[in-house]
Structure 1
């Protein structure tokens, strides 16, 4: 089983769109669990639709319960009951083309839970910090994810706080979508350094200092999460640049490739008609039935997902 986090500490870079399409692409041939760990819950509304998402809130069948189980010991760690099987089919019975795509939704209150999580400790502070950062890994153990899924995809919030750290601690790799502008491009360097020199090392320190027995380390904990790829996304396609993009994105794309080399995937996500419409409809762009969606747009998203799969599988 391969686990991947789609993450960037900057918002508006296409994390949800990429997470949704990658999970759907993988689910065409493999068993996939897609998990929304963003309190904004955009992916939850995309996958489930508003009515089904609200129903999951009433049943408290969301990822929030995983984190709440630490903050309130009277709340047990949930099991597979928070997983919505064949999620797209639940949204619309016509969507029967992804039976292997399961989903765990989020809710707005996850933002409150993050605050509670950060301030809650039991006894040994280092042990508590370790446990609260490996809750998702422990939950994957609890549902025996290795047996039931080939891939787990986390859609992370635009932050590197404790919920995102949970996703990274359970992920073999992470993918950074980035818009080719100066601020986003500079952020890639900071984010990668943060993962490698802060987050991973913090977890190693906590595990060692708390003397966590090897048998108590979650099977799904990953000590060294690697960068699978940087995806240049939501690129404006206009202007006089030779590339066909506007001049600023053209310069930033070149700068990203110079700086990061092979870490940047070859396929580029253009801001074209079809992708946002597909997300609003709750289907991947290659399944969207619309006259104004060209084969090139569908092939673009397929190429991105195909290249990411190759990198994630390494």
Structure 2
């Protein structure tokens, strides 16, 4: 596959995105290696889980060797007790892109947290700060009615946001309802307003997408099995043993960790934890693909092209950089 730069402007960075388990890390590392003869590259992670220290196995974090091979940013920067927003990512990534380019290298934005990428490319409006009282009321109603019921309520006042959220996505459903309650405006309206003042980036998006969804499902299952074999449950037990973490923190709500934490609390066996973790990861991948398909400007590379995937990514990237 080839692609050409549709403008005369130089590329600010290249994004390599895709659903979980689609091969983004391997493709990015191969591209970074190929770019060593063109000034080099550095990787900026677009991943809401990789920012956390001590969460290595369940996030499929790049190995020490991979992290050492190419400079990486926004990995292992926070304690799981902390939170990290899309707005903070956009601010950090903006500075990193400028810094990497100033050193003559190509920034590679790599990951699958689509809200982070959206915040960087389109900007985010100045949404209201968290309202603890309203948030508590929403949480109490969710405890009585269930999050799917609140998801249905959200669909009435903000159908655009509800359409992209799973009925059990308590964190984002709660935030959207909180914004509606405190401002009378939908979360999607804030996002639409932000587009008018979007940053003037030229960041092409290369998207790794499978032609056969069964291939991706098999990859997800295989990777979760490998994580379990590598000691994922022991990793979660260590996090629980700290005593200062809880399952409602953003870090512990990451896919896989949420199911493992709940399973350990409720006495599930390993097979059930694995089954539920795989199901949740597949649901995440489905949402990621939906996000990607809403970006018509992306360059699609066949993720299930096996060894050809990295070559295709390199071809697209070099054409974009050289035009």
TM-score w.r.t. length of structure 1: 0.38
- Higher percent of residues as helix: 2
Q: Which of 1 and 2 has higher RCO (CA within 8 Å, sep 6+)?
A: 2
